[in-house]
Chains A and B, each alone.
Chain A
Amino acid sequence: MIVGAIPFGILFGALAINAGLSVLATLALSLMVYAGSAQFVAAGLVASGAGVGVIVLTTFFVNLRHALYSISVVPYLKHLPQRWLLPLSFWLTDETFAAVIGRYRESEKEPGQGPNKHWFQLGSSVAMYSNWQLCTVIGIVAGTRLENMSEWGLEFAIVVTFIGIVVPLIRRFPMLVCAVVSGVCALVFRDMPHQLGLIVASIIGIAAGVLCEALS
């Protein structure tokens, strides 16, 4: 999973620089926010001139799934003190969650092996975090050295990445309805100021999906 993150880290660094973010801001996003897909979205939104409020709100929506991860690991971490919970939750990304949840569930079957599993989570978190920073720096260097990168159409890298994430998630009919409604609404509301249409379309799409699920 570390290897899989490498191209994204580099791409984020390069895209953010191209979107007009400063080197320091690009680095700070990776250091302090540490959320791959949200960082990609933010870079895209900065490039399109969206306001800070909309980008932060979008980040909130994009990262809401982390709340589900957080809830899922609670049973395995709740005995730990705050000095463990703070860093472990800060580093709780898609990849870390995927790496640790299997371990935790496994440890449930073998009583007496559980108490030290959080060291595994710490180790995998630190490895992925360091890797992300390194790749961001490489991307920043590439982004500042190569002129006219924005003309290459690298934004398509964002599009294809999200297609690769979204399409496999659409396994049930309500999810398809959600995607279609959300996409169409995004087109209809695309001229709203500060890219607010993105938020409006997402909420309508989620509502459509929930409604469809409730009816079926």
Chain B
Amino acid sequence: MITTHEILLIIGMFAVTFGVRYLPILLSGRLEFPDAIERALRFVPVAVLTALILPMILLPDGEWALGLDNPYLIASLVSVVVAAWRRSLMLTIVVGLSVFFIIRLGWLGF
């Protein structure tokens, strides 16, 4: 069953997501977004998503893992190269996941 904790989470996430999508339409004409805010907003996805994944890559089990035996690190490096080269989300995911699972299963002898 659903817990109170989860209900709070869903209501909270609903409120901020819908608010962000609806308020600008509602307030249009009455409120101009300052240029500076709009410029800062463009950095948001890169900042948040990078902050989220880097610790997952470098400390997968809560401990530093900077060696070749860390599948997260190796597969991420490959994914970054593919993403920068082809700019395709789907291709990045397919290649990145394949590399990750190949290393995990030990086919490369790590």
Interface residues of A (CB under 8 A from B): 4, 7, 21-22, 24-25, 28-29, 32-35, 37-38, 41-42, 44, 46, 52-53, 55-71, 73-74, 77-78, 85-86, 89-90, 92, 152-153, 155-170, 174-175, 178-179, 182-187, 190, 197-198, 201-203, 205-206, 209-210, 213
How close is B16's CB to chain A, nearest CB, in angstroms? Answer: 4
A35 (CB) vs chain B CBs: closest residue? B17
How many residue pairs bridge A and B at CB < 8 Å?
256
B42 neighbours in A (Cβ, 8 Å): 68
User: How many Å from the CB of A79 to the closest CB on chain B?
Assistant: 12
- How far is A161 from B95 in the complex, measured between Cα atoms in Å? 11
Chain B: CB-nearest residue to A169: B46
- Which listed residue, B14, B45, B76, touches A165 by the CB 8 Å rule? B45
Verify A166–B46 contact, CB threshold 8 A: yes
Complex contact A61–B76 (CB within 8 A): no
In the complex, the answer to whether A59 meets B56 with C-beta atoms within 8 Å is no
Beyond the given pairs A24-B2, A60-B16, 7 more chain A to chain B contacts, judged by CB atoms under 8 angstroms and listed by A's residue number, are: A22-B3, A52-B8, A63-B16, A85-B25, A168-B83, A197-B51, A202-B51
Instruction: Say yes or no: A52-B5 contact (C-beta < 8 A), given A38-B17, A159-B72, A178-B43.
Output: yes
0/1 interface trace, chain B 77-102, chain A, CB 8 Å (1 if under) = 00110011001111011001100110
The answer to whether A187 and B79 touch across the interface, beta carbons within 8 angstroms, is no
CA distance in complex: A44, B53 (Å): 10
The docked-state distance in angstroms from the alpha carbon of A30 to that of B28 is 28
Whether A190 pairs with B59 at a CB distance below 8 angstroms is: yes
Q: How far apart are the CA atoms of A89 and B19 in the complex, in Å?
A: 9
Whether B50 lies near A25 (C-beta < 8 A) is no
Complex CA–CA separation, A210 to B28 (angstroms):
25
